Amino acid sequence: MSSEAKSLQEEIRQTKPFPSLELETFLALLRTAGMLEQKQAHSLREHGLTGTQYNTLRILRGAGETALTCSDIGERLVTPGPDVTRILDRLENRGLVRRQRDDEDRRIVRARITDRGLAVLSALDLPTEQTMLKILGHMGPEKLRQLLSLLSEARNPTS
């Protein structure tokens, strides 16, 4: 830890030690994710998007010509949420996505990103990359790879 870095306990001004290392780690992850999300939110707000809406657009861009169902999108969201339909409603109202009923099963609705949605993402690509470099670049590639590995391990326990 650098001389400038504070422990979570110092940051949140907690006077008692955490009851367990696991709880401290969990809370540190939540605090870090929240702080990083806040920093990214600024550039997204300029385009009238939330983080989840931005993530949804990126998922649809990545799907290319393949239209995705709400459950397809929900499974791919970085921060899963129960209401993909409402997210798509808002994006469709802004002309960023288009939905259509499946030809074979009319109960299934599929979504695709529109040209306007692609343009919004294109405008956000460089600012997002610059924001990520600004907030995480100081760690360097080796530490970032190590962090990715540790986070993957935390998401996928072996027992």
CATH for 30: 1.10.10.10
- pLDDT of 9 reads 82
55-90 pLDDT, tens digit each = 999 999 999 989 999 999 999 999 877 689 999 999
Is 85 contained in some domain? yes
- pLDDT of 117 reads 97
Among 50, 45, 39, smallest CA distance to 135 is for: 39
DSSP state string for the chain: --SSPPPHHHHTT--SPPS-HHHHHHHHHHHHHHHHHHHHHHHHHTTT--HHHHHHHHHHHHHTT--EEHHHHHHH-SS--S-HHHHHHHHHHTTSEEEEE-SS-TT-EEEEE-HHHHHHHHHHHHHHHHHHHHHHGGGHHHHHHHHHHHHHHHHS---
Is 69 contained in some domain? yes
Q: Is the pLDDT of residue 159 over 60?
A: no
Number of folded domains that form the chain? 1
100-136 pLDDT, tens digit each = 988 788 888 899 999 999 999 999 999 999 989 998 9
Is 3 contained in some domain? no
Distance of alpha carbon 135 from alpha carbon 50, whole angstroms? 19
Is 136 contained in some domain? no
Q: What's the predicted TM-score (pTM) here?
A: 0.83
Is 67 contained in some domain? yes
- pLDDT of 90 reads 95
pLDDT confidence tier of residue 1, bands split at 50, 70 and 90: very low
98 DSSP β-pair partners:
112
Q: Domain span at residue 89?
A: 21-124
Is 25 contained in some domain? yes
